[in-house]
Chain A
Amino acid sequence: MRISFYLNEIQIETEIELHDTLMQLLRRRGMVSVRYGSDSGETGASAVLIDGKLSSTDCMLAAQIDGRDVKTVEWFNKSDLHPIQVAFVATGAMQSGYSTPAMILGTWELLSQNLNPTEQDVRDMLSGILDRETAYVKPVEAVMRAAALMRGETNEPFGPVYLPPLTDGRNPVDISPNDNGPDASPAVPRVVPSKDVPEMAVVGKPEVKVDAVRLVKGNPAFTDDFEERGQLIAKVLRSPHAHANILDIDDTEAVALPGVHAVIHYKNIPRIKYASGGQSWPNPHPHDQVSFDNKVRHVGDRVAAVAAETKEIAQTALSLIKVKYEVLPYVLGEIETMEPQSPVIHDENDTEEIYDADKNIVLKIQAERGDVETGAKQADHLFEDTFKVHQVQQVPIEPHISVAWLDSDERLVVRTATQVPFHVRRMLAPLIGRSIKDVRVIKPRIGGGFGAKQEMLIEDIVAHLAIATRRPVKLELDRSEEFIASRTRHPQTLTFTTGVAATGKLVSQKLRLIGNTGPYGTHGLTVQTVAGLRGLTSYNADNKKFDCDVVYTNTPVAGAYRGYGAPQAEFALEAHMEDIAHALGVDPIEFKRKNWVKVGDELNIAPHLGERAVGLEDIEEYPRITSNGIEECIAQGKRSIKWHRKDDPDWIAPKDKPNIRRGLGFAFCMHGTAIPFLDMGGCSIKINDDGSFNMLVGATDLGTGADTVLGQIAAEVLGVPLSDIQVYSSDTDVTPFDTGAYASSTTYISGTAAKLAAEKVRERLKERAAKLLNVKEPCSIELRDRKAIAPDGSSVTIEDIAMEAFHLEDHEQIMGTASYVSPECPAPFAAQFAEIELDIETGQITVTKLVMAVDCGVAINPVTASGQVEGGMLQALGYAHCEEYAFDENGKMVNDSLGPYKIYRADEMPEFEVFLVQTMEDSGPFGAKAVAEIPKDGVAPAIRNAIINATGVAINEIPFTPERVWQKIRESEI
């Protein structure tokens, strides 16, 4: 069919296929800012302006556009940024930036009609563009600031508001009910500076992200934005059964279909065992997967894959593959799977190191300090509570996508949306019979990962197909596949047993945990050990024990998800501690304060849990808490949430709303920063003729702002502005090794590597400057303002030093390379507060405000750091409140699309407020600790504890969906 339409004011006449969506047409014409997130318009990532109206293009035929007007963000791309783009850049309104073009277009439509929009207008405009990263906080600010610019006004520079501390850093204070705190936009990070932190030029400043311009222009950045010539499309045939043996596969008709180039399955792909979790070598056992098996273990498991000329041919080919199944019984629950009548999920004979395959127990993890049984006997009070946490998905708006091809040297190249490019290279090579040196993995921009992409998930499929066809092959999961065939958070059943002395001090604490890893182990060991670590290190007790079974079931596979075991454990822990306090009749914060770890306290079970766990006899000195800003966090949070209202009966039960109860809740949060002795990052920095620098890092920026933060660290050391640092990340052929973006490690580990590399460069610059300035002691020279400055004030520019080194004398490439692995794991702390309204007749909870005050050491960039907290709280809110996997009677997920699987959108968000409380963590680069994962930890328990404040009802299972809450209220007869 031939159509004619206007694209960015240019008339286009083109042939289309009848089944082409408008999104496909626009991308084919180079409009790569139009991005795939779903096939039914749910995510809004593909939205453009059609006749001036923001519209999703993935649920629309290209034919429908004949005669109409289409504008994409490329329309804005002149030499200068449009004021809307300026505002998005200035406010840090994009993290990965995947959906930013749609937001910019929506802003244009809104402001074309109304230059004075209300916040509600803005949120309504954003309602169709789902964002898992920013919590919409900074995009709303960006739109308001864009409106101001377009009204001809001038905005104040966007940056943090600095608040005086409310405490001395150690002791609690009373907060006056009349103290309202700062009057600033919610998007503005509230920074509470520490006197221990020196003033710096670049670090601690709200620098604009280094990739901001690329993202607001919608320039090619993501995996699908680059297309190889002759690229084939892959699709995967997935199991309709939760558990079945594959008796036979007949691919004859599929292979014969014109346009099909390869069909792969268990009969033609070597059976090589592996574990798909993106983790350091050696990957934890069991290695219980193969690329294609003769057994399927969950609905959505791989059966076969096809590479064909088009998506439609590939889909048709899948329907022509005849599979003979022997359907087996299945099991979904982590308790039921261990019962004798349950089916054995791994009955193959070539998987080693399954703890007890007959009982579906993958692993048994145990650790103990002291003697919990004796401790419990000595305690004056003993409490035990059981909690259930459920399965949720990371929902990156960019699904998993990989492209593989053979380059001119016949090496296999994989461009892939991964958090762990170096792990993928190492894990992929043996599966395709190649050495690591014959594989190159390139990580372009990623449209969100959150752990889902800490996995070698689909790279082996495109690699096999590229080798089989000798053509580039692309595989992109659709939204349903992202739910059923990607990775999820582990469901768990957790039982805390805690002994408390009459003094209120904990004597013993035991955590019994059953973790559901689904049908494959992947991150089963490490997520559960982190759950044990996080569950048992927040509070002091001499006697601690972790007892864990990791089990197989036939649910979709669990894996890494931001927080990595901590959200599960801290929900249970903070709920349990709250209940103990209520049972003892003491204030929960006071009770927790009496027991939480403080500076100098020993983390007495930490070294015995994790990938590098050591035995009791192997450790001489236990790690200790080195910095802790929790008291200031609590003070700031209490003031913001107006904590005094929790004791006001008129506020809790408003007289004009008899069915409404209000409540406030608190959770103490503690996380880790990287995995000690394991996470490693590398960095290489070289100078250019003009005194700028190229910085190569293996670290993977998922949208977190890692590239920016690492650049700031280097710029601070080198005495230059951030704009003088060009950052390149994650290409296994080019950049240094890095374990990847996980475990809250990038700023701390890769940041230290960047600092060390920059320091090496700085030393060479000083040595050369000393010669040029006739200074005897190079160490007396300072680098500042792009100059090397001698003690007497004389100076030489860094550009002059570079020119001299390249072209005049003692020729050399000034460069520095460094890597870093930490022996420590400094803990960030946070106070999480929640405010809710609960309808006692229906069980409906409305979360009205979330406040998180975080001690992440020194936030290298307070705007990106606060953005991390906002986005983390959004995901944690979904975990607590509305997101869940639901299955039918055949074990098939029934809500595998956005909508039925509910994630929060812009027009229904509670108020957010974020505080960054500085502490000086001496082991971190310029005092930094982690910030990315701790926002996931406290929302669920804070909401749960707010429900208690509102109703007195304790609910030990999430999410707090209306019927569950209603049932609990009915049972309690309030």
Chain B
Amino acid sequence: MPSILSYHRPQSLDEAQKLASQKNTFIIGGGTLVIPDVLSSPTKEAVIIDLQAVGLTGIFSELSGGQSSVKIGAMTRLSELIGNEKIPMIVHELSSKELPSTLRTQATIGGTIADRNGESILLSGFLALNAEIEINCETWIPLNQFLQSEPLEGIITALRFNIPTAESETSFHSVGRTPMDVPIVSGIGYAQSNGNLQVSLTGVSKIPVLVKSDDDIENLDPESDFRGSSAYRKHLASVIFSRITEEVQK
């Protein structure tokens, strides 16, 4: 029968954290991923905690030690990133490609991070930019660490990353069935002003992964699916890595 046991709209983070300690809780930002999943599983019992009244919105520029960064509240919708002057162009591009118009108005940054989707180009972009995420408005941890570890207790409250400097380079390459398809494999390259390049890849693992050399790609072991075999995905990773390398070196 109805799978949703209760719906809560906490007014503060404290309240949300208390509610989240119950069993079977599902925290939603926009709910675009969680709600269809819950409703399609009538035997799944769910307590929904909707963060829309908690705040956690906004895009803020920060300056620390001469380094500009941007902090994005976890409840910020993807559509709000597009066109925001504080957001670098690469993130504009990835945000608009991440989801179509009718979903990006609901989907949130927090939900995108929490989903840990290995095909999310926006998550991959944040990874390439060495983003950090904030848990419970208290603790900042590197996004890469978050993705590599088991799901943490607590609520994702914000994300921040340093704004790429004028001397740095970013590059996005992808291969898909059609131009706006979820890429079979994509890469977002970020070369900092010191010349160090890292590329975040989607489509090669259950989470986006960072690679810095051909050896890293050699060690990948992507799963096959109908859109691309493991060998093909590895080939694409190699091609994309070399294209990004060439582009940022130019």
Q: A53, B176: Cβ atoms under 8 Å? A: no
State whether B101 touches A904 (Cβ < 8 A).
Answer: no
Instruction: Determine whether the beta carbon of A844 is less than 8 Å from that of B39.
Output: no
Complex CA–CA separation, A656 to B84 (angstroms): 33
Instruction: Specify which chain B residues have a CB less than 8 angstroms from the CB of A902 in the assembled complex.
Output: 177-178, 181
For residue B226, which residue of chain A has the nearest CB? A886
By the criterion CB–CB under 8 Å, are A44 and B2 in contact? no
Residues of A35-61 at the interface with B, using a CB-CB cut-off of 8 Å, are 39-41, 44, 47, 50, 53-56, 58-61
List the one stretch of A17-25, A452-460, A629-637 in contact with chain B.
Answer: A17-25
B102 contact from A129, A881, A884, Cβ within 8 A: A129
Please, which residues of chain B bring their CB within 8 A of the CB of A47? 102
Check A40–B181 contact: CB distance below 8 A.
no
Contact B184 A962 (CB under 8 A): yes
A50 CA / B102 CA spacing, docked (Å): 10
Interface contact B177-A881, CB-CB below 8 Å: yes
CB distance from A971 to the nearest CB of B (A): 14
Are A64's CB and B175's CB within 8 A? no
A964 → B minimal CB distance (Å) = 10
Tell whether A124 pairs with B177 under 8 Å between CB atoms, given A41-B32, A53-B79.
Answer: no
- Judging by beta carbons under 8 Å apart, are B7 and A53 in contact? no
> Which stretch of A313-321, A413-421, A818-826 is in the interface?
A313-321
B101 to chain A, nearest CB (A): 4
- A128 close to B (CB within 8 Å): yes
User: Residue of A at shortest CB range from B40?
Assistant: A39
Is there a chain A Cβ closer than 8 Å to B228's Cβ?
yes
Known A-B contacts A44-B100, A319-B43, A962-B184; the reply to A18 vs B7 at CB < 8 A is yes
Contact A61 B35 (CB under 8 A): yes
Q: Give, as a whole number of angstroms, the nearest-CB distance from B110 to chain A.
A: 15
Residue of B nearest to A314 (CB): B42
Contact with B along A885-923 (1 / 0, CB 8 A): 010000000110001001011011000000000000000
Question: Could you say which of B6, B39, B77, B101 contacts A124, with CB atoms under 8 Å apart?
Answer: B101
Verify if B182 is at the interface (C-beta below 8 Å from A).
yes
A128/B228 in contact, CB under 8 A: no
Within 8 A of A (CB), among B1-53: 1-7, 9, 28, 30-32, 35-36, 39-40, 42-43, 48, 50, 52
Among B210-240, those with CB < 8 Å from A are 225-229, 232, 235-236, 239
A949 to chain B, nearest CB (A): 21
Q: A19-B39, A127-B101, A886-B226 are in contact. Are A881 and B180 (CB under 8 A)?
A: no
Who on chain B is nearest to A40 by CB? Answer: B36
Name the interface size band of chain A.
35 or more
Q: State the CA gap A844–B239 with chains docked (Å).
A: 12
Verify B103–A963 contact, CB threshold 8 A. no
Q: Is A961 interfacial (CB 8 A cutoff)?
A: yes
- With most chain B CB atoms within 10 A of its CB, the pick from A44, A127, A319, A842 is A842
Is the C-beta of B179 less than 8 angstroms from some C-beta in chain A? Answer: yes
Chain A contacts for B79, CB-based, 8 A: 53
Q: Is the CB of A63 within 8 A of B40?
A: no
**B-side contacts of A846, CB under 8 Å:** 179
Q: Assuming the A-B contacts A313-B1, A963-B228, are A56 and B102 also in contact, with contact meaning beta carbons closer than 8 angstroms in the complex?
A: yes
A841 within 8 Å of B (CB atoms):
yes
Asked if B68 lies at the interface with its beta carbon under 8 angstroms from chain A, I say no
A907 to B9, CA, bound (A): 35
Q: Which of B1, B184, B226 contacts A894 (CB 8 A)?
A: B226
Q: How far is the CB of B139 from chain A (nearest CB, A)?
A: 28
Partner of A61 from B4, B102, B105 at Cβ < 8 Å: B4
Rounded to whole Å, the gap between the CB of A854 and the closest CB of chain B is 25
Known: A61-B7, A315-B42, A841-B239. A908 touches B50 (CB 8 A): no
Which residue of B3, B181, B225, B228 has the most chain A CB atoms within 10 A of its CB atom? B181
Contact indicator B103/A128 (Cβ below 8 Å): yes
Which residue in B31, B96, B232 is a CB contact (below 8 Å) of A966? Answer: B232
Q: A839-B175, A902-B178 are in contact. Are A41 and B42 (CB under 8 A)?
A: no
B180 CB contact (under 8 Å) in A125, A315, A884, A908: A908
Interface hub of B6, B180, B232 (most chain A Cβ within 10 A):
B180
- Choose from A56, A64, A128, A886 the contact partner of B50 (Cβ within 8 Å): A64
Does B69 interact with chain A (Cβ within 8 Å)? no
Indicate whether A312 reaches chain B with its CB closer than 8 angstroms: yes
Q: Cβ of B168 < 8 Å from any Cβ of A?
A: no
- Pairwise interchain contact B42-A128, C-beta atoms closer than 8 A: no
A734 to B184, CA, bound (A): 53
B63 to chain A, nearest CB (A): 30
Q: Point out the residues of chain A lying under 8 angstroms from B171, CB to CB.
A: none
* Contacting pair B101 A126 (CB below 8 A): yes
* Interface residue from A41, A102, A125, A895 paired with B36 (Cβ < 8 Å): A41
Q: Does B106 contact A (CB under 8 A)?
A: yes
- How would residues 154 to 189 of chain B score, 1 for a CB under 8 Å from any chain A CB and 0 otherwise? 000000000000000000000111111110100000
* Chain B residues, Cβ within 8 Å of A41: 32, 36, 102-103, 106
A sample of 15 inter-chain contacts (CB < 8 A) reads A1-B7, A19-B4, A40-B32, A47-B102, A59-B35, A61-B4, A66-B9, A127-B100, A128-B100, A312-B2, A844-B176, A846-B179, A881-B178, A959-B177, A961-B177
Report which B residues bind A (CB closer than 8 A): 1-7, 9, 28, 30-32, 35-36, 39-40, 42-43, 48, 50, 52, 77, 79, 96, 99-106, 175-182, 184, 225-229, 232, 235-236, 239
Among all A-B residue pairs, the 9 with the closest Cβ atoms: A128-B102, A886-B226, A128-B100, A128-B101, A40-B36, A882-B177, A53-B105, A908-B180, A908-B179
